[in-house]
Amino acid sequence: MSFENMELWFFTGSQHLYGPEALKQVAINSNELVKGLNDSKRIPLRIVFKQVLTTPEEVRKLCLEASASSSCVGVILWNHTFSPAKMWILGLRSLTKPVLHLHTQYNRDLPWDTIDMDFMNLNQAAHGDREAGHMHTRLRMNRKVVVGHWSEKQTQDQIGIWSRAAAAWADWQGARFARIGDNMRYVAVTEGDKVAAETKFGFEVNGYGIGDVVRFCQQVSDAEVDRTCQSLQEQYATVPELKKGGKRHESLRDAVRLELGIRGFLSDGNFKGFTTTFEDLHGFKQLPGLACQRLMAEGYGFGAEGDWKTCALLRACKFMAQGLKGGTSFMEDYTYHMDPKRPLVLGSHMLEICPSIASGKPKMEIHPLGIGGKDDPVRLVFDAGPGEAINASLVDLGNRFRLLVNEVTCIKPPKPLPKLPVARAVWETKPDFKTALSAWIYAGGAHHTVFSYPITTQHIQDFADMAGIEMVRIDDRTDLVDFQQTLRTNEIYYHLAPGLGRI
């Protein structure tokens, strides 16, 4: 995972009305503005100033170039002067990259003492960007509008969040996710329309037999298993029985062989994520708990029980979160603490929680597992640390997709959980326990989620807007009556939107 080869292209709108000297100044100022944004370090992608656009031909040519470019993951538009918007129609219609409309101006302050008509001619974003915005709305363009002087931290942060979403969106295009085995039988929410997903989101999900992975496990050398076991023992607090010479060390070797085999399969097929199911483990000695945990920590998307939507969303969130503090994991709302004074959710899974969210050094342990009918699996056990976080869910409603976010506050578990042999997180939901859970259930949110500290509701909102899908949020402002009405209204809007030319 890297933002290394990703760029944002910066287009400045203008026209020939003001003479060549003015256009020269527009280009100089645009370059300075872009340099200021790049120097801020608040935007993780490099912004490249492309051109001052003054004719329909130039706009169209550059939009086609941006659409075809493999390095351009988004376009930032700004009008230094007025730029008549009819000349943008053809270009914008052919632009396939996410768009951010930056409504700023070169100067922060009005030069009260010296302002004259030359200054007025040159600095017209206040109305030039409204002409542009009118056309964007009339074309029903999905875009992000950011308002503020380009030197402001808040402006730069908004661009930064959007650019992370744009990068993850680019990462999804052509991404491959492997569904190893099929779905957990009879489960509804982990199913979905993979054809619709590829059409809408640009990633492919295909099924693979467990034997395809077992073949890679068999090719793993003993020396490689030895080396990895050694490095795991150093990395995690390992129980003595799993250590070299311990009576269950062979189980660790089996777990490591699984991990190396799955990694080989994923890298051979150029996959960005995978799903497993405990109902199809033929040829696996144990359920791949440790393997899933460690592969997630490397940036792979993962979904248990065949959940390819959560797998894809996890990959997107991990991609967005690069370089930010705090981890991101596959998660499941497992069980509740229903004390009315302080109700809590205990999030976990039977094994597969990403150690990137661990508050301390994870412990490597082995315990029996009631399902799957295999040998006891090795797993990493830890508590997730305190902090603001989100749970996000991508659901297939049959005719369309919905993204759903609940903002939560993760806390240190109020008491130790000495008998619980799996990784866990304990959180309070916003705005409160009953409203959040009611809203989640009314919205049809899954029991599997992506849990993340660094990714915020705004990242998910920007990402959903790029995809052109519904996004509903459950946060400290959520009122249940309004929320239900939003769902009803959205149902109509997203049904009609394709006819409005929006999607």
* Binding region for Mn ion (CB under 5 A): 304, 332
Q: Give the span between the Cα atoms of 445 and 5, in whole angstroms.
A: 35
Nearer to Mn ion, 332 or 465 (CB): 332
What is the closest distance, in whole angstroms, from the C-beta atom of residue 350 to Mn ion in the complex? Answer: 7
Label the pairing between strands 401-411 and 387-396.
antiparallel
Among residues 299, 314, 294, 255, which one has the least CA distance to residue 423? 294
Nearer to Mn ion, 66 or 304 (CB): 304
**Residue entry with tokens 């004259």:** 116
What is the closest distance, in whole angstroms, from the C-beta atom of residue 440 to Mn ion in the complex? Answer: 16
What is the closest distance, in whole angstroms, from the C-beta atom of residue 190 to Mn ion in the complex? Answer: 8
List residues bridging with 450 in a β-sheet. Answer: 330, 392
Dig out the tokens for 166 from the structure. 């744009």
What is the closest distance, in whole angstroms, from the C-beta atom of residue 204 to Mn ion in the complex? Answer: 23
Q: Give the span between the Cα atoms of 134 and 131, in whole angstroms.
A: 5
Nearer to Mn ion, 278 or 433 (CB): 278
- Report yes or no: 302 and 352 within 8 Å, Cβ to Cβ: yes
What is the closest distance, in whole angstroms, from the C-beta atom of residue 392 to Mn ion in the complex? Answer: 16
Phi, psi of 159 (to 5 degrees): -65, -40
Nearer to Mn ion, 332 or 407 (CB): 332
What is the closest distance, in whole angstroms, from the C-beta atom of residue 302 to Mn ion in the complex? Answer: 11
- Report yes or no: 344 and 209 within 8 Å, Cβ to Cβ: no
Dig out the tokens for 456 from the structure. 């915020």
What is the closest distance, in whole angstroms, from the C-beta atom of residue 372 to Mn ion in the complex? Answer: 13
Helices (H), 175-307: 194-201, 210-218, 222-235, 249-268, 289-297
Nearer to Mn ion, 100 or 446 (CB): 446
What is the closest distance, in whole angstroms, from the C-beta atom of residue 286 to Mn ion in the complex? Answer: 17
Among residues 82, 86, 106, 87, which one has the least CA distance to residue 34? 106
Nearer to Mn ion, 122 or 314 (CB): 314
What is the closest distance, in whole angstroms, from the C-beta atom of residue 281 to Mn ion in the complex? Answer: 15
**Residue entry with tokens 């993962």:** 302
What is the closest distance, in whole angstroms, from the C-beta atom of residue 412 to Mn ion in the complex? Answer: 24
Among residues 300, 240, 223, which one has the least CA distance to residue 267? 300
Q: How does DSSP assign 368-391, residue by residue?
A: --SSSSSBPPEEEE-BBPSEEEEE
Dig out the tokens for 267 from the structure. 């890298």
What is the closest distance, in whole angstroms, from the C-beta atom of residue 328 to Mn ion in the complex? Answer: 17
| Angle of helix 289-297 versus helix 249-268 axis, rounded to 10 | 50
Q: Give the span between the Cα atoms of 321 and 213, in whole angstroms.
A: 29
Nearer to Mn ion, 331 or 467 (CB): 331
Q: Give the span between the Cα atoms of 264 and 257, in whole angstroms.
A: 10
List residues bridging with 348 in a β-sheet. Answer: 424
- Report yes or no: 87 and 131 within 8 Å, Cβ to Cβ: no
Nearer to Mn ion, 74 or 306 (CB): 306
> What is the amino acid identity at position 185?
R
Q: Give the span between the Cα atoms of 298 and 1, in whole angstroms.
A: 9
Nearer to Mn ion, 215 or 447 (CB): 447
Nearer to Mn ion, 255 or 304 (CB): 304
Nearer to Mn ion, 11 or 330 (CB): 330
> What is the amino acid identity at position 256?
V
